[in-house]
Amino acid sequence: MRSGIGYDSHRLVTGRRLVLGGIELSSERGLDGHSDADALAHALIDALLGAAGLGDIGQHFPDSDERYRAADSLVLLADAVGLVRAAGFEPVNVDATVVMERPKLGDARLAMRARLAEVLGIALADVNIKASTGEGIGFVGREEGVAVIAIATLRGGRAGEVG
């Protein structure tokens, strides 16, 4: 068993959609970025790549690459799962904390878990999403941005490795 962590943050701006875990949330502002700026998907990608010892999201999906402009980050997540599987690993579970003042995740949380479970090829019960706020402190508290931390656990290993 191996685990990896991931972290991502994006700026909140007007005129952008707020997409987290592949689900669009109702919000007057959204996350700015080269892709759809899905910080939850990005943190999960880094957690998966980290667990597999495969570097980070910027190495595999550079934001200088025009192919990833406005990209659906769940497609990138699916690609990351493919890299992980090609290295001999299988996702076991993921957990993440979305740090955001508003909106509340509410019913979207279940939809996010379902979409992520589908892409990761694991059960709904193996995808956990927690919500936290910045308590008015820092860039999250000032509603300048959203941060997400994540962890992923994998089983398996490269040929020849014990594990």
Is there binding between residue 42 and Mg ion (CB under 5 A)? Answer: yes
Residue 48, exposed/middle/buried by CB under 10 A (0-12, 13-18, 19+)?
buried
Eight-state DSSP code of residue 26: P
- The count of residues interacting with Mg ion (CB under 5 A) is 2
Give least dist CB 53 to Mg ion, A: 21
Neighbours of 130 (CB within 10 A): 12
Return the number of the residue (68 or 89) whose C-beta is nearest Mg ion.
Answer: 68
Least gap, CB of 36 to Mg ion (angstroms):
10
Neighbours of 29 (CB within 10 A): 16
| Identified binder of Mg ion from the candidate list 8, 19, 44, 61, rule CB under 5 A | 8
Task: Measure Cα distances from 64 to 2, 19, 61 in Å.
Answer: 30, 21, 9
Residues in region 109-138 near Mg ion by CB under 5 A:
none
Smallest distance from Mg ion to CB 133, Å = 20
Q: By beta-carbon distance, which residue lies closest to Mg ion? A: 42
- 77 vs 117, beta carbon nearer Mg ion: 77
User: CA–CA separation, 40 vs 54, rounded Å?
Assistant: 19
Q: Which residues bind Mg ion (CB under 5 A)?
A: 8, 42
